[in-house]
Amino acid sequence: MKVGLVGYGKMGQAIEKILIAKGHSISKIINIDNIDGIKAINPENTDVVIEFTAPESALHNIKAVLTNKVPVVSGSTGWLDHYSEVVDFCNQQGAGFFYASNYSLGVNIFFKLNEQLAKMMNGQNYESSMIEIHHTQKLDAPSGTAITLAEGLIANNDSKTKWVNKNSNNPEELEIISERVDPAPGTHEITYSSVVDTIKISHEAHSREGFAQGAVLAAEFMAGKKGIYSMDDLLQL
């Protein structure tokens, strides 16, 4: 499989190592220094693109690749206000798009655990909150993973109607506290507190390798595909 990398930071480099170890080849590496080269990515030279870039450039990069009908696997966060726009654009182009806020198998299991616990805690007089901790180079807050967790909790628990990225005294708001500390690949903790006890679930990443492995699996899954996909499709959790 010929894979293009759009974004060549620490995550892109970790993905490259796994791709090569699995026998795949790197067709293009696009970063801030050669961003115009993204226009040269096409089905003749690339089977799929893995895109991990900054929030302010992700939308442009994704659309640029989809325009040339190459499937995109994106892990960029901080741009999801435009997600429906990308879905519509992808379908118009007859291309393929795979998005996940987190590609770790463990985190995706944690997503399901979070939803189930939220259902169990519904109506039980517990106050829920969340904390997420990442390295100082992470530009967006809260993390995409935290947002996915928050949306899963809110959809399954009537006590919260929205999330906020700050301390809150509004009982209908789920507060997400974001901390940026080095080194910290990523920790997410959800707490339910009452006057009698506290229940917590958490996930702590030890390295970027788990995220990178999941992104490569998604790229292998997407080669030759059209349409919109997610980790639920890949893992069938």
Per-domain residue ranges for the chain? 2-103+209-235, 105-204
Q: What average pLDDT does the structure give for the chain?
A: 95
Lowest-pLDDT choice from 100-104, 121-125, 163-167, 212-216: 100-104
CA–CA dist 4, 50 (Å, integer) = 6
- Check if CATH label 3.30.360.10 holds for domain 105-204: yes
Is 112 marked as a binding-site residue? no
The DSSP annotation for 157-220 comes to: -TT-SEEESS----TTEEEEEEEE-SS-S-EEEEEEE-SS-EEEEEEE-S-SHHHHHHHHHHHH
Residue 133: pLDDT above 70? yes
pLDDT at residue number 8: 96
pLDDT at residue number 237: 62
Residue 152: pLDDT above 90? yes
Give me the catalytic one of 10, 39, 69, 134: 134
- The mean per-residue pLDDT over the stretch 165-193 comes to 95
Q: How buried is 187 (Cβ within 10 angstroms: 0-12 exposed, 13-18 middle, 19+ buried)?
A: middle
Is 100 marked as a binding-site residue? yes
pLDDT at residue number 106: 93
> pTM of whole model > 0.95?
no
Is 207 marked as a binding-site residue? no
* Residue 206 falls in the annotated catalytic set: no
Alpha helices (H) along 9-143? 10-21, 55-67, 83-93, 105-121
Q: Are 156 and 115 in contact (CB under 8 A)?
A: yes
**pLDDT, tens only, 181-228:** 998 889 999 999 999 999 999 999 988 888 999 999 999 999 999 999
* Residue 134 falls in the annotated catalytic set: yes
**pLDDT, tens only, 22-72:** 999 999 999 999 999 999 999 999 999 999 999 899 999 999 999 999 999
User: Which residues are paired to 203 by β-bridges?
Assistant: 188
Is 150 marked as a binding-site residue? no
pLDDT at residue number 139: 77
Predicted confidence band of residue 156 (pLDDT cuts 50, 70, 90): very high
pLDDT at residue number 63: 97
Which class is domain 2-103+209-235? alpha beta
Residue 89: pLDDT above 90? yes
Give me the catalytic one of 2, 63, 138, 225: 138
